Amino acid sequence: MSQADAAPITGNYEFAPVKSAGIIGPQSPTATRRSLLAGMAFAPIAFAGSTSSRAASPSKWKEISARYRAAQAEWDQFLERVYNPAVDRLIALAPPPPSYFTITARNGKANEYWYDRTDPDAWTNNGSPLIAEKAKAQADSWRRWEITHARARREIGMDTIEAEDTRRSQHIDRLRNELIATRISSPAEMLEKLELVWGDGDDPEPHKEELFRDFRSLAGRL
């Protein structure tokens, strides 16, 4: 017999979380970002009444921004009405088995044995008969689940739903990049661009040139 005794075995499983398209806005603000936004808060007073032929056409920024926000809203609705309900139904039709089992050894230490779908028999040949037995039962459960899960995906049409989700996500990314590359024409648009660049917690470094270009444009209007 192994070092493990026959203490109660517990388990849990992990599955794809509900998705959210998100919105433009700060989620992980940094000190640098806060200082930039604080400084820009006074920009409308400094720039009031000034104009410049170097600024972008206001309609271009507003037009792309409107399309971006509309795409975000449509994606939110798609996630709420189609994608997330499909995931919920998929889990209901094919609830995944526990991802691990726990065995408490004689010394009182609880050890977790996780199932690896890329190596389903990782624990089935363990030197401990108890571990091997539980691992085999776990692997058998996951093999049955794979069959049930594939059948449920076909019934729901999950491949089509996921493809549509990817299409919408990529469309929003393209609009976001197009918007970041568009020249701003006012401090208000500069603030919106800063929110867009930092709002998702992304690294602003790839957009440094666009941001400095827009800051120089605004500075030239003083």
Q: What is the pLDDT of residues 87-145, one digit of tens each?
A: 999 999 999 999 999 998 888 899 999 989 888 888 888 888 988 999 999 999 999 99
Q: Tell me: pLDDT of 74 over 90.
A: yes
pLDDT category at 219 given cuts 50, 70, 90 is confident
Q: Which burial class, exposed, middle or buried, applies to 20 when counting CB atoms under 10 A from its CB (0-12, 13-18, 19+)?
A: exposed
For the ranges 25-29, 75-79, 82-86, 172-176, which has the lowest average pLDDT?
Answer: 25-29
- Give residue 216's pLDDT: 82
Give 213's pLDDT tier (boundaries 50, 70, 90).
Answer: confident
pLDDT band at 222 (very low <50, low <70, confident <90, very high): low
The string of pLDDT tens digits covering residues 34-60 is 333 333 333 333 333 333 434 445 578
The pairing of strands 11-12 and 100-104 is: antiparallel
Q: Which of 71-75, 120-124, 167-171 has the lowest mean pLDDT?
A: 120-124
E strands, 34-187, are: 100-104, 110-114
Choice among 157-161, 200-204, 208-212 with the minimum mean pLDDT:
200-204
Radius of gyration of the chain (CA): 27
The pLDDT assigned to 200 comes to 66
Q: What percent of the chain has pLDDT over 70?
A: 70
State both tokens at 18: 């509900």
- Bridge partners (DSSP) of residue 113 are 101
Asked if pLDDT for residue 201 goes beyond 80, the answer is: no
Of residues 15 and 160, more confidence is placed in 160
Q: What is the pLDDT of residue 193?
A: 82
Sequence-distant contacts of 95-99: CB under 8 A, at least 24 apart: 96/13, 96/15, 96/142, 96/145, 96/149, 97/11, 97/13, 97/138, 97/141, 97/142, 97/145, 98/11, 98/12, 98/13, 98/138, 98/141, 99/11, 99/12, 99/13, 99/14
